[in-house]
Amino acid sequence: MAGAALTTDALRRHAIARSLFAPQALPAAVRRLGFVQADPLRAPARAQDLILFQRVRGYRAGDLERGYERLGLEEDAFVNYGFVPRSLFGLLHPRAPRRPWDAATARRASEVLAFVRERGVVHPRDVGEAFAHHGRVAGYWGGELNASTRLLDQMHHHGWLRVRRREGGTRLYEAMQHPAHEDSPAARRARAEALVDAIVNLYAPLPAASLGYLVTLLRYGAPHLAVEARAVAKAARQRYGHAVVDGTAWFWPADENPASRRHRPADAVRVLAPFDPVVWDRRRFELLWGWAYRFEAYLPAARRTMGHYALPLLWGEQVPGWINLRMQDGRLLPAPGFVSGRAPRDPAFRRALDEELARLEVCLSGYARPT
């Protein structure tokens, strides 16, 4: 429990310092985060690369994908889709799907599973050619997906398959057999507690409403533990550090102290992904920084106010605005925007931003490396 001295300023400093830790080796950084959200858009980099760029020594874009097989990671759904350590992966499975397959789909999936087991590792193209699952099905964003690719995606989510690696961005699958596990009420509660702990560890300090919302997102990664996870969230005051600040209840890991004066973020500019843990929770963002950040990539251009892929600009403890970036002839072309309508007057901001963009250019050079 925090003392009466806890303020929004202290929560903001804590949010930055605990998430933007000193750069580490890639495996250690992923373990410390517990989950790295993935997104396919490159504007100018994929979300997972931007997230790790801020936390991994010498990170180059694509290093996560290139090192995936040796890093002990899994691609899977948690509160969103991304990369998880196998310790967390083990808590998400066996996963009971919310919408069971009909008999015909279950039969096709069983046939494909036998095919994958025989081949070892398969490309979606191999399945399409072998089974001729012709036709198209609606994609998540209004596009279309090949029917065999969609079936593989469902089998992956159900836990029948795992991603072995990627080639050119395409997932290659192999069969997955999950170990037996205890399914008693106590064991289920323990698994749910560990999953909610992972949420709090990644996104704290969390407003109570945000914690509740994130727990509902476990319907993607652990629908079979939804009841237990909600019970853990309801008992958050007994499990986590907490305080009411300016009328909002906040939660964080019990062994942390947001009021500590040791939390002093560096006076540098950080370009953050829209899904970076520091800015992911839009409710928390507005409480901590006083303005509403929006991710507008999937909005029609005419409705955008910040741009296609606006990246928040963290400067010390403040987020004065955002920046859209594109690569041209190996150079980053920036298009910043600011809440006040103008850039900070302090020359240190311009210097820090230039240094950050130079670092990011080096990171982006990783996309030219072979996978």
Q: What is the CATH number of the domain that holds 159?
A: 1.10.10
Query: pTM here?
Result: 0.92
Among 160, 175, 190, the domain boundary falls at 175
Q: What is the mean pLDDT of residues 12-16?
A: 96
Chain-centroid distance of CA 317 in Å reads 22
Work out the end-to-end distance of the chain between its first and last CA atoms, rounded to an integer number of angstroms: 47
Residue written as tokens 């103008």? 342
In a domain, 234, yes or no: no
In a domain, 323, yes or no: yes
In a domain, 292, yes or no: yes
In a domain, 129, yes or no: yes
Do residues 297 and 47 make contact, with C-beta atoms less than 8 angstroms apart? no
In a domain, 333, yes or no: yes
Among 145, 175, 205, the domain boundary falls at 175
The pLDDT tens digits for 317-355 are 999 999 999 988 878 999 999 999 999 999 999 999 999
Query: Which pLDDT score is estimated for 142?
Result: 41
In a domain, 59, yes or no: no
Greatest Cα pair distance, the chain, in angstroms, is 66
Query: Which pLDDT score is estimated for 139?
Result: 45
Among 175, 192, 220, the domain boundary falls at 175
Query: Which pLDDT score is estimated for 138?
Result: 47
Query: Which pLDDT score is estimated for 149?
Result: 86
Query: Which pLDDT score is estimated for 62?
Result: 95
Do residues 332 and 44 make contact, with C-beta atoms less than 8 angstroms apart? yes
Helical H runs in 217-334?
218-221, 226-234, 236-239, 282-289
Average pLDDT, the chain: 92
Amino acid symbol at 203: Y
Kindly state the percentage of the chain with pLDDT values over 70. Answer: 95
The pLDDT tens digits for 97-153 are 777 888 988 999 999 999 999 999 999 988 988 886 445 444 443 444 578 888 999
In a domain, 161, yes or no: yes
The pLDDT tens digits for 211-263 are 999 999 999 999 999 999 999 999 999 999 999 999 999 999 999 999 987 77
Query: Phi/psi at 322 (nearest 5 deg)?
Result: -145, 175
Number of residues assigned to the chain: 371
The pLDDT tens digits for 159-176 are 999 999 999 889 999 999
In a domain, 291, yes or no: yes
Tokens coding 2: 């925090």
Tokens coding 78: 């948690």
Query: Which pLDDT score is estimated for 140?
Result: 42
Q: How far apart are CA 287 and CA 289, in angstroms?
A: 6
Which domain, by its residues, includes 158? 103-175
The pLDDT tens digits for 71-88 are 999 999 999 999 999 999
pLDDT at 275 exceeding the cut of 50: yes
- Structural domain tally of the chain? 2
Put residue 173 in one of left, alpha, beta given phi > 0 → left and psi -120 to 50 → alpha. beta
